[in-house]
């Protein structure tokens, strides 16, 4: 591959960034769920020292970029990245050729229940399961997971944001009516708890399933439900044209339904993406803006059977920045 004769779309598809430095590129290392083993991380260091400039960039989406790689070394870097791809069990068409696509961005996740006392589920495990379902794919889609409604992973900036929920289980026999859960629910959440006749009452219509009561109860009167539930938010985006936050679509959703919904979205993109879009990477949010939400909803709910507990928005609207000229 010559320095002046490079197929840029092919380079990007292979998960290399086209650098502003002439004759150089940056290797993008995909880390679904944001967790990488120490041996693979050492391999990243080795590649950076051997082919790059000994510098590593940590991306906003929990991936790694190794800059300063000469374009002629791309095939060799792909061979050395193979051990990382194998270790992280990333889907691949042909070994030794690097990442097969880069359209669907690295799936990010906060630490979740593995480390965080507020985490309602294993975010990394779910993120890695989602990775198996949707990667590789050239379509520009962002998926993010967060363990609770604190949203440390900023999933409301993603096309599909998954927020952990729990249905708090209350044991009145363990409750001493100390009021700590009520106080913390008011201070750190939505104030869904109150004291009624010496026992705690949970307003189910107000409760967002954050688990704050579970975390702060000193007697274990509150515990997390065995079932995992999720709040699915849709079509947040950054960028130059009308950035916006994702809006709630389903709450108390199950894992299987979320996997199907996200996978179904790719069929919708294939049907309605603008064939004239640059490199066919039209953002899914703009496609929905063009076709209308009802058509998008029709596609993503195919084969999905929600539980009786799930609550879904039937019509959705997104805000955004709309400016009027200021006349002084």
Question: How confident is the model at residue 1, as a pLDDT?
Answer: 42
Among 90, 77, 35, 27, smallest CA distance to 56 is for: 27
Q: Where do the structural domains in the chain lie, given as residue ranges?
A: 8-87, 108-164+229-312, 169-223
Q: 2 pLDDT exceeds 70? A: no
**8 φ/ψ angles, rounded to the nearest 5 degrees:** -60, -50
Lowest mean pLDDT among 26-30, 46-50, 91-95: 91-95
Among 27, 4, 204, smallest CA distance to 98 is for: 27
* Whether domain 108-164+229-312 has CATH 3.30.413.10: yes
Edge-to-edge strands of the sheet including 64-70?
16-18, 24-29, 64-70, 57-58
The tokens 């009802």 sit on which residue? 294
* % of the chain at pLDDT higher than 90: 83
Q: 56 pLDDT exceeds 70? A: yes
Query: Interior CA angle at 208 toward 207 and 209, to 5°?
Result: 95
* Whether domain 169-223 has CATH 3.40.1550.10: no
pLDDT per position as a tens digit, 182-235:
999 999 999 999 999 989 999 999 999 999 999 999 999 999 999 999 999 999
> How far is it, in rounded angstroms, from Cα 81 to Cα 85?
6
Q: 322 pLDDT exceeds 90? A: no
Instruction: Measure Cα distances from 5 to 2, 68, 71, 128 in Å.
Output: 5, 18, 10, 36
- Please spell the DSSP secondary structure of 2-19, one letter per residue: -SS---HHHHHHTTEEE-
Question: How confident is the model at residue 4, as a pLDDT?
Answer: 52
User: Please, which residues bridge with residue 253 across strands?
Assistant: 230
Confidence of residue 328 (pLDDT cuts 50, 70, 90): low
Q: 85 pLDDT exceeds 80? A: yes
Task: Calculate mean pLDDT across residues 146-155.
Answer: 95
Which pairing describes strands 143-146 and 108-109: parallel, antiparallel, or unpaired? parallel
Topology adopted by domain 8-87: Alpha-Beta Plaits (3.30.70)
Among 242, 236, 203, 202, smallest CA distance to 222 is for: 202
Confidence of residue 323 (pLDDT cuts 50, 70, 90): low
Among 268, 276, 273, smallest CA distance to 293 is for: 268
DSSP E strands: which ranges in the chain? 16-18, 24-29, 57-58, 64-70, 108-109, 143-146, 160-165, 169-170, 193-196, 199-202, 222-223, 229-234, 247-253, 311-312
Q: How many residues does the chain have?
A: 328
Exposed / middle / buried, residue 220 (Cβ in 10 Å: 0-12, 13-18, 19+): exposed
pLDDT per position as a tens digit, 87-127:
999 999 899 999 999 999 999 999 999 999 999 999 999 99
Confidence of residue 18 (pLDDT cuts 50, 70, 90): confident
Tell whether pTM > 0.75. yes
Question: How confident is the model at residue 79, as a pLDDT?
Answer: 95
> How far is it, in rounded angstroms, from Cα 11 to Cα 18?
7
pLDDT per position as a tens digit, 271-305:
999 888 766 678 899 999 999 999 999 999 999 99
| 8-87 and 108-164+229-312, same CATH topology | no
């Amino acid at each position: 591959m010559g320095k002046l004769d490079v197929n840029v779309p092919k380079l990007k598809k292979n998960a290399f960034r086209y650098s502003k430095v002439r004759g150089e590129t940056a290797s993008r290392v995909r880390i679904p769920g944001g967790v990488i083993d120490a041996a693979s991380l050492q391999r990243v260091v080795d590649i950076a020292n051997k082919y790059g400039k000994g510098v590593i960039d940590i991306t906003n989406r929990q991936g790694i970029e190794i800059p300063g790689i000469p374009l002629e070394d791309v095939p060799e870097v792909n061979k050395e990245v193979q051990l990382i791809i194998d270790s992280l069990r990333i889907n691949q068409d042909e070994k030794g050729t690097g990442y097969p696509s880069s359209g669907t961005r690295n799936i990010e996740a906060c630490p979740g229940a593995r480390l965080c006392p507020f985490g309602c589920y294993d975010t990394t495990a779910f993120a890695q399961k989602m990775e198996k379902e949707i990667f590789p794919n050239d379509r520009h889609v962002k998926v993010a997971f967060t363990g609770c409604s604190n949203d440390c992973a900023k999933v409301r900036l993603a096309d599909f944001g998954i927020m952990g929920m729990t249905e708090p289980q209350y044991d009145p026999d363990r409750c001493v009516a100390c009021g700590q859960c009520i106080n913390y629910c008011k201070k750190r959440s939505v104030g869904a708890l109150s004291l009624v006749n010496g026992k705690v009452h949970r307003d189910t219509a107000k409760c967002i399933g954050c688990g704050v009561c579970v975390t702060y109860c000193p007697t274990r009167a509150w515990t997390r439900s065995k079932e995992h539930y999720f709040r699915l938010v849709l079509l947040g985006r950054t960028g130059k044209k009308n950035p916006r936050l994702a809006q709630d679509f389903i709450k108390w959703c199950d894992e299987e339904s979320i996997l199907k919904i996200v996978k179904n979205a790719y069929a919708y993109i294939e049907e309605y993406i603008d064939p004239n879009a640059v490199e066919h990477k039209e953002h899914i949010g703009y496609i929905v803006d063009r076709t209308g939400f009802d058509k998008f909803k029709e596609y993503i709910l195919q084969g999905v059977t929600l539980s009786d507990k799930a609550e879904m928005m039937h019509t959705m609207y997104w805000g955004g920045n709309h400016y009027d000229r200021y006349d002084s």
